[in-house]
Structures are given as C-alpha cells and as structure tokens.
Amino acid sequence: MFPAIRMNTNESHSHKTSTPCVMVIFGASGHLARRKLIPALYALERRGLLEEHFSIVGFARTPNVTARFRKEMADAVSEASSSGRLDAALWQRFSSRLHYVTGEYDQVESCRRLHEFLAGADCGCARGRILYYMALPPRAVEPTLRTLYDSRCIPWHKGASAPRLMIEKPFGWDAASACRLNRLLARMLPESQIYRIDHYLAKDTVRNLLVLRFANAIFEPLWNCAHVDSVQLTAAEDVGVEGRGAYYDEAGVVRDYVQNHVLQVLALAAMERPESADAQALSDRKLEFFESIAPVRRGDFVFGQYRGYTREPHVAARSRTPTFLALRLRVNNRRWKGVPFYVRAGKRLPRKVTEITIQFKTAPTCVFDGRALCGHAPNALSIRIQPAEGMRLSFSTKAPGLDDELRRANLDFRYSQLGAELPEAYEKVLLDGIRGHPGLFWQADELSRATGFGLECTRFWTGCEI
Ligand code: BG6
C-alpha cells in the first residue's frame, strides 16, 4: 500500500469538520473546468466522496445561467468518460450541486454578488469554509485575488473555517509577478490554506516513485553515480495547444510543463531520502534537489516548435515560442556527481508517453573474455508514468543454445495487472484540497526556486533558432 503523503496536522485527521461547504471555480467557462475539474468532481461523487451539503459554484466572465451550465457540464462529463454515457441518477445528484454566477474577476461588485449567492438559499454556505479554485490564466490571478481581498466579503481569518485557495500553475508569469503573488497570499491567508497545484504530483505513478525507491530495499543502493550512467525523462504529448493558444504562446513548454511537472518528477526520482512522508519533509528534500541543479548553459538546450503552431488560434503569426525542449541538466551533489539528466518534453510528438529511465552503467568487469559479450546493453529501469503505466527492467541473459550469446530481456510490470483502474490525477488533487491534505502541493520556497529555474531556461530560448 502507498503510505499516505500527508502533513501531520490536526486538520488532516479531522477533515469532516474542515471540509468546505462550497467550492468556487474561478474560470468555470474554461478548458480546465470542462476537461478536468468537473469530470473529476463527478468521479468523486461516484465514489461517494462528496459531503451531502457541498456545492460547486462556477464563476466566470462568460454570461451563463445555472441550467445551461449544468447542461454544458453534462456534455463535458460524457466526453471525458470512456463510455461516453452518464449515469442518470448519479448525474441528477451531482448536477444539483452545480451553480453558475457571471461576473468580472476584478470588480468588487461582482465579487459581492458572488458572495451573496454563496450565502443565499441555493447554496447555503453563509458561515462555512469556502474553497476558491483559481482555474484562470496566470495574468488574471493577481487582480482576482486583490479584488477578493479588497471586497472584504470574505472572512480572511485563520480559524477553522478560514478560506482555502487552490491555484493552478504557472504561478505568476515571471519572477516579479510570482513574488508579488506570494506576498499577497501571505497577507491573505495562512500558508497551510494555500494549495499550489501540480497535478503530476497526484498521479499514482508519480507518487509511486517514492514507494519504489523507499519501500524496496533493492533499488536505493544502486541509485547514485557509482551505478547510474544517466537519468532520462521523456514527456511527449501527441496533442497541440488544444485551443489554449493565448495562454500557451506566453508560457511555452518551459513554463507550461518543464518548470513544474518535469521538475517535480525529477525531484521525486532523484532527491535524498526524506525523514518521513509528510509534506514538510518531502518539500525540504525537493527543495534541496532543486538547489543542487547546476546553472544551465546555452549548449544544454535544443528548442523546437511544431509545424502549424503559428496557425493555432490566438497564437502570434510570427511566434517563436518553443513547444519542444531537449535539455541536459547536471546535479551538483554527491549522489549524482557526473550523471547527466536528459529531459525531452513537447507537444504534437508522434505519441503520448511520459517515462523516466534510469540507465545503469555497463557491468564493471567482464568474465566473457575478449568477446562482444562484454559491454552488452547495460541495465535500464524504465518507469512509465503514462499511458500503459508500469515499469520495465531490462537486463542481459544467455540466449538459449549451445553458443555463448547474450540476449536482452525484460521484467515487465503493468499497473493494470493489479486489477484496479488508476484514478485521474485531478480526483486526487481535488479530494486533497477539499479534505485539507496539503502533502501533494508546492510550497512557496520550492516554487520560487522552480520559477527561477524556468527563468534561466527562458533566457536561452529568447533569440534562439527554432
Ligand atoms: C498541463 C499543461 O499542466 O498538463 C498542458 O498545461 C499539458 O499543456 C498537460 O497538456 C498534460 O497533462 P497530462 O496529465 O495529460 O499529462
């Protein structure tokens, strides 16, 4: 069993009392709400994990009304489900939780209307905890939070019903805005109520990196520069920007994917052993890992852009934003001295695969003298994060027959063999946000380091040949 990655706070043990009575999704008319959040909330309903009096209020600029919002979300949930169908009774129960309020993010008046609605009869959350979810483009987050703060309609207190805030990446759009946002948040809420989301941390296969390394005795002794030749992370997507051209053209692959998802996966795969699996211990180790990444140099990068990118809606016709990156990292610590970390990440690649491979060194001595058998393909452990989630260990074996020949063979493990479906990452993100389990979220100092790293990388993209 996977050990719960939870902070040892009283709150995490008493989630019933700290459970919010309403979740407000800012940006409810957008791609994320439709593709991920609402389908994941519906899945939580199916699992019986939503409290009876829990409402979901969509808030966005696009004019809409609750009835139509429900209808649109029914379509979204059907599209997201493998069968394409909805369970009528379940949908009935779930959709009665859904409401919609139209408003401007940066207008106090809209904010007041929203809170009147939250306290009113339809929603009935006058004094309970409110969970705010920022599913907004990076530039809209700061004005929205300022408006929330200035409107004074929210109880910005630290008690048991202090509001909780979940924020999607990227956090700010440059180092200065990320800093400003952190300062604003620190004024608004206790750090324990701020959940900076990276949905990769909620993927079972990413969380399993910790189990693999620290719940087994056989891997950790080999997990260092004496035995490992390189670490390779491939994160290939077959999709393009999927209608998010305006956002993506500013973020590019670095800020959309590398400075968050890639760094988190690498950190879990390569950090030192944490004292425990609680949020602070994990965060300390991850931060230590980020800090040991050596400064990147021009020769460490290759950037690319997929054909047709500049014809995507809302992408500048002469955009030079990279949608692909290959990167070599060096990690300045004792464990990884001299071991290159290779990262490849991008969109519109031939197939979707996210995989991390630990490439081991060739066997140090050879008993098969003078033959090509020595130095035969070294061992590799590939951890498949998605799809076809699982793990493969490649090794050499004697080929059957009278001659001494070696063959490559694999030990394969597929999650599907365990007989249960892997949950969608957003189910875990949302459930932890609702219950107040902060272990899977970024902490502020990790984020500053990652933003700094992203900035270093983007410096090299400016002016490079794509
Ligand atoms: C998001 C990025 O964070 O992750 C998207 O903004 C990307 O551009 C997505 O497509 C990938 O997530 P997943 O879970 O499909 O690998």
Q: Tell me, using a 6 A CB cutoff, whether residue 45 lines ligand 1.
A: no
Q: Whose CA is nearest to atom 6 of ligand 1?
A: 256
Of 257, 352, 355, 429, the one to substitute when testing ligand 1's pocket (max ligand atoms within 8 A of C-beta) is 257
Q: Kindly tell me the burial class for residue 347, based on how many C-beta atoms sit within 10 Å of its own C-beta (0-12, 13-18, 19 or more).
A: buried
CA distance between the termini of the chain: 45
Provide CB contacts within 8 A for 268, sequence distance 6+: 201, 206, 207, 209, 210, 286
**Neighbour count for residue 109 (Cβ, 10 Å):** 11
Q: Strand pairing partners for 435?
A: none
* DSSP secondary structure, 65-119, as one string: -HHHHHHHHHHHHHHHSSS----HHHHHHHHTTEEEEE--TT-HHHHHHHHHHHH
Q: Whose CA is nearest to atom 8 of ligand 1?
A: 256
Of 35, 196, 237, 429, the one to substitute when testing ligand 1's pocket (max ligand atoms within 8 A of C-beta) is 237
**Neighbour count for residue 74 (Cβ, 10 Å):** 17
Q: In ligand 1, which atom is closest to the CA atom of 237?
A: 10
Q: In ligand 1, which atom is closest to the CA atom of 251?
A: 6
CA-wise closest residue to 209 among 282, 297, 145: 282
Return per-residue pLDDT of the chain as tens, 466 residues: 333 434 333 334 444 446 888 999 999 999 999 999 999 999 999 999 999 889 999 999 999 999 999 999 999 999 998 777 889 999 999 999 999 999 999 999 999 999 999 988 888 787 788 999 999 988 899 999 999 988 877 766 666 678 899 999 888 877 788 888 888 888 888 888 999 999 999 999 999 999 999 999 999 999 999 999 999 999 999 999 998 999 999 999 999 999 999 999 999 999 999 999 888 899 999 999 999 999 999 899 999 999 999 999 999 999 999 999 999 999 999 999 999 999 999 999 999 999 999 999 988 777 776 566 666 789 999 999 999 999 999 998 888 988 878 888 999 999 999 988 889 999 999 999 999 988 788 888 888 888 888 888 888 776 555 5
Q: Tell me, using a 6 A CB cutoff, whether residue 256 lines ligand 1.
A: yes
Tell me the pairing of strands 228-236 and 340-346: parallel
Ligand 1: distance of its center to the CA of 118 in Å? 31
What does pTM read for this prediction? 0.90
The conformation of residue 444, written as its DSSP 8-state character, comes to H
In the numeric block, which tokens belong to residue 438? 């902060």
**pLDDT value at position 10?**
35
**pLDDT value at position 241?**
95
Q: Tell me, using a 6 A CB cutoff, whether residue 389 lines ligand 1.
A: no
CA-wise closest residue to 438 among 210, 197, 145, 252: 197
**Neighbour count for residue 266 (Cβ, 10 Å):** 23
> CA quadruple 195, 196, 201, 204: dihedral positive or negative?
positive
Q: Tell me, using a 6 A CB cutoff, whether residue 250 lines ligand 1.
A: no
Q: Phi/psi of residue 51, each to 5°?
A: -65, 155
Q: What is the rounded CA–CA span in Å between residue 113 and residue 99?
A: 13
**pLDDT value at position 3?**
39
Strand order of the β-sheet with 98-102 is 98-102, 55-60, 22-26, 130-134, 164-167, 194-196
Tell me which amino acid residue 424 is: E
Q: Provide the 3-class DSSP secondary structure of residue 401.
A: coil
The conformation of residue 230, written as its DSSP 8-state character, comes to E
Q: In ligand 1, which atom is closest to the CA atom of 203?
A: 14
CA atoms within 13 A on the CB side of 178: 22
Q: What is the rounded CA–CA span in Å between residue 72 and residue 64?
A: 10
Q: Tell me, using a 6 A CB cutoff, whether residue 237 lines ligand 1.
A: yes
Ligand 1: distance of its center to the CA of 104 in Å? 27
Torsion of CA 108, 171, 384, 224, to 10 degrees: -150
> CA quadruple 128, 110, 198, 425: dihedral positive or negative?
positive
Tell me the pairing of strands 130-134 and 98-102: unpaired
**Neighbour count for residue 353 (Cβ, 10 Å):** 16
**pLDDT value at position 372?**
62
Ligand 1: distance of its center to the CA of 261 in Å? 9
Of 35, 200, 325, 384, the one to substitute when testing ligand 1's pocket (max ligand atoms within 8 A of C-beta) is 200
Q: Residue 452 belongs to what H/E stretch?
A: helix 444-461
Strand order of the β-sheet with 353-360 is 301-304, 324-330, 340-346, 228-236, 353-360, 380-386, 390-398, 406-414
Q: Tell me, using a 6 A CB cutoff, whether residue 432 lines ligand 1.
A: no
**pLDDT value at position 100?**
97
Q: In ligand 1, which atom is closest to the CA atom of 386?
A: 16
Q: Phi/psi of residue 11, each to 5°?
A: -60, -40
Q: Which residues form the catalytic set? A: 261
In order of 53, 272, 284, 291, 292, the CA distances from 332 in angstroms are: 51, 13, 17, 9, 5
